[in-house]
Amino acid sequence: MGGQSDKWVLMVTAQTPTNIAVIKYWGKRDETLILPINDSISVTLDPDHLCTTTTVAVSPSFDQDRMWLNGKEISLLGGRFQSCLRELRSRASDFEDEKRGIKIKKADWEKLNLHIASYNNFPTAAGLASSAAGLACFVFALAKLMNLKEDHSQLSAIARQGSGSACRSLYGGFVKWIMGKEENGSDSIAVQLADEKHWDDLVIVIAVVSARQKETSSTSGMQDSCKTSMLIQHRAKEVVPKRVIQMEEAIEKRDFPSFARLACADSNQFHAVCLDTSPPIFYMNDTSHKIISCVEKWNRSEESPQVAYTFDAGPNAVMIARNRKTAALLLQRLLFHFPPHSDTDLNSYVIGDKSILQDVGVRDMKDVENLPAPPEIKDNIPAQKSKGEVSYFICTRPGRGPTVLSDSQALLNPETGLPK
């Protein structure tokens, strides 16, 4: 270790996407290694709209490990964080930068302290899988810094030990987390089924639902389900394996009707297992139910499904539309049923890829108020509007996997190793 002086700071900055499962992970067979009871499949979301950026740095001048999340220093003591760190350090390689006079031997990595700064380009508390993206980014950036020879699948097994679904954020596009069979978890890894260009018609609209109640964490929720649900084993052993095969096929063939039916059924079944838990877990609320009813009614009025929906461990709806045209029709319906409070700016109510709004023909709040009722609700029931139940919408699409950013985009100062 060392160089001409101990003043150097070596760092890597990376960006990692979030992902949304369309075949759900719920239940572990090993709590420490985070090994799941079934395979799962996810779609990676475009990091332009939802991602974590992380800078990891080492320097002989750092006297302890430190971490900042969204600019605020937080504790690095979490057991799962430490498991990942241990795994990474044990796989680190020699590093040399002759120009800067930096030389780090494999064994040195154990002694060097780390500075980590992480930033989400979306609200952390919104229930949008920030921990998955965060853990994946931490592992990916450190692997680059420490010069690991491991490929993405091997890195996914490390990220998995930090946060199960994080392993699926190591790839773009469509990703499968294979549950594996080994007791040590070595074969419980993520693999890419197809990249984001394979099916680039898809458009994703996320409704961030205003939640009032504190939610059960997914870690303790899935523990309770495994202990008490009489349905979870039947789901994991009999239902999911068939659905995984069908979903892989639907993705391969870009068969949207099958994709949508499987995604909706699997989301609902995951929430059914939560309800079958003692005490029961409710992640969806009345607003989530209304969004489902809206999509189901529309899908049924068309010849084949236009939109798939899926809900993670919270009330937010992630809707996947078959193409841009459908996404515009979806957004029209959503804005009709869930207008914002009157003092809300449309510009902050629909974020992400705002170009979809133009397709809807909506430029301001007045246009939202004048939206016509969708034709499928023309029957006797008066159209229900639920003002303020959705906090905002994010328009996005399937996206790329982790990338390394240039040092100019680092979150830490290259001289001091402290947040910029």
The reply on whether position 303 binds its own copies by CB under 8 A is: no
Q: Give DSSP secondary structure letters for 232-282.
A: HHHIIIIIHHHHHHHHHHHHHTT-HHHHHHHHHHHHHHHHHHHHTSSS---
Q: Which of 178, 231, 405, 418 binds its own copies (CB under 8 A)?
A: 231
CB-nearer residue toward its own copies: 121 or 384? 384
In DSSP terms, which residues pair with 208 in a beta bridge? 392
List 5, 72, 381, 382, residue binding its own copies (CB under 8 A): 381
| Beta carbons of 13 and 407 less than 8 angstroms apart | yes
Q: Outline where DSSP puts E strands in 45-169.
A: 51-58, 66-69, 72-74, 95-97, 102-104, 114-120
122 versus 270: smaller Cβ distance to its own copies: 270
Provide, rounded to whole angstroms, the least separation between the CB of residue 289 and its own copies: 5
Nearer to its own copies, 265 or 418 (CB): 265
Q: What's the CA gap between 323 and 328, in Å, rounded?
A: 9
* Cβ closest to its own copies, residue 107 vs residue 230: 230
By CB under 8 A, tell whether 71 contacts its own copies.
Answer: no
The pairing of beta strand 350-352 with beta strand 390-396: parallel
Q: In angstroms, rounded to a whole number, what is the distance separating the alpha carbons of residues 410 and 395?
A: 26
At closest approach, how far in Å is the CB of 239 from its own copies?
5
Among 59, 120, 218, 269, binds its own copies (CB under 8 A): 269
Q: How far is the CB of 378 from its own copies (least distance, A)?
A: 16
Contacts with 107 (C-beta within 8 Å, 6 or more apart), sequence order = none
241 is a contact residue toward its own copies (CB under 8 A): no
Contact window for its own copies (CB under 8 A) among 28-36, 86-94, 164-172, 209-217 = 209-217
Which segments of 289-389 are extended strands (E)?
Answer: 307-310, 317-321, 350-352
Q: What single letter denotes the amino acid at residue 95? A: F
Cβ closest to its own copies, residue 108 vs residue 276: 276
Whether omega before 305 lies within 30 degrees of 0, making that bond cis, reads no
Q: Residue 212 or 341: which CB sits closer to its own copies?
A: 212
Contacts to its own copies from residues 271-300, by CB under 8 A: 271-273, 275-280, 282, 285-286, 289, 292-293, 296, 300
Give least dist CB 223 to its own copies, A.
16
Nearest distance in Å: CB 270, its own copies: 9
Q: Binding residue for its own copies (CB under 8 A) from 34, 67, 137, 264?
A: 264
**Shortest spacing between CB 159 and its own copies, in angstroms:** 31
**Residue found by looking up tokens 């390394």 in the block:** 404
Count interface residues toward its own copies (CB under 8 A): 34
Among 72, 99, 149, 214, binds its own copies (CB under 8 A): 214
> Which range binds its own copies by CB under 8 A, 61-69, 260-268, 338-346, 366-374?
260-268
Phi (first) and psi of residue 341, to 5 degrees: -60, 150
In this structure, the chain runs to a length of: 420
DSSP E strand stretches across 47-89: 51-58, 66-69, 72-74
Distances (CA, A) of 218 to 131, 132, 178: 11, 12, 20
Contacts with its own copies, residue ranges (CB under 8 A): 212-214, 228, 230-231, 234-235, 238-239, 261, 264-265, 268-269, 271-273, 275-280, 282, 285-286, 289, 292-293, 296, 300, 381, 384
